[in-house]
Amino acid sequence: MVEVGEKQVTAREAVAECTIRMTPDACAALVAGTPKGDPMEAAKVAGLLAAKRTPDLLPFCHPIALTGASVMLEPDAETGTIRIEAVMHALDRTGAEMEALTAAAVAALCLYDAAKAFDRAAEIGGLHLLAKAGGKSGAFRRAD
């Protein structure tokens, strides 16, 4: 791990997204809920839990003091897609990008777990950082 002890504690923000694609019927089933429960709410919770466990999953990732986190889902039953956006806030010496990416990815995996009963060909894609703020390197916003 990189030494970050000499760095200043600053406010950090990171936003990541990904998408899961499935048949429109499968997407509608997830939005409506399944006999097992509400996959949309489960995905949000899974993403939040994953953000807090990121350093346990990624060996070079420092534990950071998250001060806020959210996972939002935007379903489009017409196209069979659900967009996942994870936003992390922290006060620390290093950024929250990996926490945001991990939260989005795990939320998508949770949705896939529910979707596979309706569509085995469901696909997760487009995981990327949308924006970050804070720290020495400053702000970043994805161009597209």
Q: Give tens-digit pLDDT for 61-72.
A: 999 999 999 999
Q: Which residues of 17-44 are buried (b: 16+ CB within 10 A; e: fewer)?
A: bbbbbbeeebbebbeeeeeeeebbebbb
In the chain, the number of structural domains is 1
Indicate whether 2 belongs to any domain.
no
Examine residue 73 and state whether it is found in any structural domain, yes or no: yes
Show the DSSP H helices in the chain as ranges.
24-32, 39-52, 54-57, 97-115
What are the backbone dihedrals phi and psi of residue 131, each rounded to the nearest 5 degrees, phi first? -160, 155
Q: Please tell me what DSSP assigns to residue 49.
A: H
- Residue 124 confidence (pLDDT): 99
**Predicted local confidence at residue 7, as pLDDT:** 86
**84 occurs within a structural domain:** yes
* Average pLDDT of the residues in 25-45: 94
User: Residue 41: which domain range?
Assistant: 10-139
Q: pLDDT, tens digit, for every residue of 80-114?
A: 999 999 999 999 999 999 999 999 999 999 999 99
Classify residue 56 as exposed, middle or buried by CB count within 10 Å of its CB (0-12, 13-18, 19+): exposed
Task: For the chain, give the longest Cα–Cα distance.
Answer: 53
4 within a domain of the structure (yes/no): no
pLDDT tier for residue 135 given thresholds of 50, 70 and 90 = confident
Q: How do strand 10-21 and strand 81-92 relate by DSSP bridges?
A: antiparallel
Write the CATH number for 53.
3.30.70.640
pLDDT for position 2:
86
Which residue numbers are catalytic? 113
**pTM attached to this predicted model:** 0.95
The answer to whether residue 53 scores a pLDDT higher than 90 is yes
